[in-house]
Amino acid sequence: MSNLTINADRLLRRIQELGSLGRDAQGRLVRVAASDMDRIGRDRLVGWLEETGLEVAVDRIGNIFGIWQDDANAGQPPVMLGSHIDSVIDAGIYDGCYGVLAGLEAIATLKEAGFEPSRPIVVAAFTNEEGVRYSPDMMGSLVFAGGVGADEALAAVGTDGSILGKELERIGYAGRHQPGFFKPQAYVELHVEQGPVLEREAIAIGAVENLQGISWQRITIEGEANHAGTTPMSMRRDAGVAAARVVSFLADRASASPTPTVATVGTIAFEPNAVNVIPSRATFTVDLRDPDEMHLREQETALVAFLDKLAASAGVTIHAERLARFEPVTFDTRIVSLIEDCARANGLSCRRMTSGAGHDAQMIARIAPSAMIFVPSRGGISHNPAEFTPADELVAGANILLGVAARLAAD
């Protein structure tokens, strides 16, 4: 099996086709979790799983599984591949989809080659990895790993006021399987790096050995609406200015940090949102990340202290709501070494690295040995339609996934 390679045309064609599905009137990719656009992508994926002769299973949180098993190995803990196909707003076509379709491609290639795995091989597409509509992110894999109950997750209220469970029912993906209805023997996720490291160092494969901690909060600042023309600066309780001070504080502190801390305010809204009215309310989200748990806690503590001082000085009230909090994760060294071995066997340069982005692998690592394979992202760009990885690099990564999956499934 060692000289087996994937069907590159089939993989590349499917990546492009899936990338064309779920676009809005402006042509933006918006396959946001449990939306009609998400359903279009889900339906196409299920079609490909069926075409490959896999058993398709959907669990209560809408995770989709394509299962390859036979009488001889049924019931054995499977090797699981996968990622997600939900997207952010105005997304690229590789984030998540590449890992799901390459996982399917690896199974199809092994099947066609007459490979007889000693255990089932499963490809998964986890619900709501991005967390754009419903918090937290990596929700489907978190539920599958038992990190939060299915009922609690299904009750999640979206940024549009929708309820996740109702939306999954509406799009036909409120499955019957209990999350965690099987326990994987191992999990390997192939993903575009979404960062600049591999390209900058001209390295083909990332053997991801750990993933940084993530802290998401929604902050609401209450001030007082007033006339923009008649209210002296000294008499204002301006929620907008207070929010701006928080944004600057976070950026300055993260930029000055000696650790690889990152801080992002990705959403912000003012009320009443009128040109000549001092904002009475500002609502925004804070995304803090650091590979070291202690440093991440220090960032969070510093923010709390800053908000307390700001509330007093600006005459506003400030409320913070936790949206997601995941500690840093270390992946399975045996699988990481396997990835390095496969890269070497394929004549590809490889380096161990940390994932800056969150991934389903960080949740599945709670219940099974897990690791990730990265391929370079052009310009390190992601969560942006300019996200790109050349075809030969996509194929190279998929062949590493194939090799690792075959080795794990032979155990």
**Residues that bind Mn ion in the complex, under the rule CB under 5 A:** 95-96
Q: How far apart are CA 387 and CA 129, in angstroms?
A: 18
Residues contacting residue 388 through CB under 8 Å, at least 6 positions apart: 92, 94, 377, 378, 379, 381
Q: How far is the CB of 361 from ligand HGY (least distance, A)?
A: 11
Tokens of 204: 């083909």
Q: How far apart are CA 278 and CA 263, in angstroms?
A: 27
Q: How far apart are CA 403 and CA 409, in angstroms?
A: 10
Q: Does 33 help bind ligand HGY (rule: CB under 6 A)?
A: no
Q: How far is the CB of 36 from ligand HGY (least distance, A)?
A: 21
Q: Which of 82, 103, 117, 131 binds ligand HGY (CB under 6 A)?
A: 131
By beta-carbon proximity to ligand HGY, the closer residue of 165 and 358 is 358
Q: Does 129 help bind ligand HGY (rule: CB under 6 A)?
A: yes
Site residues (CB under 6 A) for ligand HGY, limited to 132-151: 137
222 interacts with, out of Mn ion, ligand HGY, none, CB within 5 to 8 A per kind: none
By beta-carbon proximity to ligand HGY, the closer residue of 15 and 405 is 15
Tokens of 225: 């609406």
Burial class (CB in 10 A: 0-12, 13-18, 19+), 168: buried
Cα–Cα distance list, 271 to 135, 222, 284, 285, 387 (Å): 23, 10, 12, 15, 33
Question: SS3 of 283, please?
Answer: strand
By beta-carbon proximity to ligand HGY, the closer residue of 314 and 357 is 357
By beta-carbon proximity to ligand HGY, the closer residue of 91 and 408 is 91
Q: How far apart are CA 179 and CA 183, in angstroms?
A: 10
Query: Taking the CB of residue 118, how many other CB atoms lie within 10 A of it?
Result: 13
Interior CA angle at 19 toward 188 and 365, to 5°? Answer: 20
Q: Does 357 help bind ligand HGY (rule: CB under 6 A)?
A: yes
358 interacts with, out of ligand HGY, Mn ion, none, CB within 5 to 8 A per kind: ligand HGY
By beta-carbon proximity to Mn ion, the closer residue of 78 and 99 is 99
Stretch of 62-70, 129-137, 178-186, 205-213 contacting ligand HGY, by CB under 6 A? 129-137
131 interacts with, out of ligand HGY, Mn ion, none, CB within 5 to 8 A per kind: ligand HGY
96 interacts with, out of ligand HGY, Mn ion, none, CB within 5 to 8 A per kind: Mn ion
240 interacts with, out of Mn ion, ligand HGY, none, CB within 5 to 8 A per kind: none
Are 198 and 400 in contact, with CB atoms under 8 Å apart?
A: no
Q: Does 189 help bind ligand HGY (rule: CB under 6 A)?
A: no
92 interacts with, out of ligand HGY, Mn ion, none, CB within 5 to 8 A per kind: none
Chain residues in the site for ligand HGY (CB under 6 A): 129-131, 137, 357-358
